[in-house]
Amino acid sequence: MDGFDTVIYEKKGHVAHVTLNRPHALNAYSVKMRDDLFEVMSAVRADDEVRVAVLKGAGEKAFCAGADLTEFLTAPSVVRARRIRGVRDLWGLFLKVPQPLIAALHGYVLGSGLEIALFCDLRIAADDAVFGLPEVGLGIIPGAGATQTLPRVAGLPRCLDMLLTGRRFNAEEAYRYGIVSRVVPRERLFAAADEMARQISGHDPAAARKAKQAVARGLDMSLEQGLELERNLAASLMKNRPARSKKTNKQMS
Ligand code: COA
């Protein structure tokens, strides 16, 4: 799959690699990138061969330095923006992707960059990563979910601290706050993400999908409902196991 200006999409075995590719602008999130990313994430979602996807940024300096500030003054009207969102709701799409998503984060991870990462299930940071939500300082609020996703990950006080002060924080702090689950030396980042993807893609993909679903959907439920969800997902996994094993055996023979 190619032909995108702002995103590189590669499939290696069962692993999809999605690279934000505007290094000259620190991979700033533009309208074009939104459209390209929507196509790419739709393809990931529909592709049963893909068991896990890794998102990363091109160039040395950034995963993504936030929304493209040069587009601020030319942004579509609120009505038009709403209509586009109805057709291409990228953030809604991220929530529907059934495969585990890994964000490999280096350099600047600001604004929408952090928000894209927060839509992923696993985040690994390089030791040079710098995080922040500059929106309030620019007179806006995050528009890609951070007001909802960040408190779920880092808790309310830390989220409000980051959101309202706009201060930048490093990978160590992101690790302490639970925003990333691992910090690795910069030169090891992509290898570490690949290794994690390899481990996940080596498992039964249905089990990985259902585990993700149980955790992600369960978070918004009461404990009782969550336990019921887990029971149902476990049961449906067991029910379909013989058919899946047969298929796997056939593929291997
Ligand atoms: N939108 C559009 N272009 C951006 C950008 C953004 N969010 N962030 C960086 N760029 C561009 C710069 O304009 C510059 O382009 P140029 O070489 O044509 O002048 C290029 O990327 C490199 O950035 P530069 O500012 O020279 O790098 P730096 O290392 O000195 O500073 C940052 C890096 C991230 C601190 C700085 O670029 C910055 O503050 N960016 C804006 C962050 C932000 O507020 N994001 C919006 C969130 S809503």
pLDDT, tens digit, 9 for 90 and up, residues 58-94: 999 999 999 999 987 565 666 666 666 666 899 999 9
Q: Whose CA is closest to atom 2 on ligand 1?
A: 68
Residues assigned a catalytic role: 115, 135
Whether the per-residue pLDDT at 253 is higher than 50: the answer is no
- 138, 62, 181, 184: CA torsion to nearest 10: -140
Q: Which atom of ligand 1 is nearest to the CA of 62?
A: 34
Which pTM was predicted? 0.93
Neighbour order of strands in the sheet with 52-57: 7-12, 15-20, 52-57, 101-105, 122-126, 182-184
Higher pLDDT, 75 or 108: 108
Please tell me if the CB atom of residue 110 comes closer than 6 angstroms to any atom of ligand 1.
Answer: yes
Pocket test residue of 24, 29, 33, 69 for ligand 1, highest count of atoms within 8 A of CB: 69
pLDDT tens track for 217-252:
999 999 999 999 999 999 999 998 766 666 555 554
Provide the b/e sequence for 59-72 (b: ≥16 CB within 10 Å): beebbbbbbbeeee
* CB-ligand 1 contact for 70 (6 Å cutoff): yes
Would you say 107 and 130 are in contact if contact means Cβ atoms under 8 Å apart? yes
- Determine if ligand 1 sits within 6 Å of the CB of residue 75: no
Closest by Cα among 142, 155, 98, 144 to 121: 98
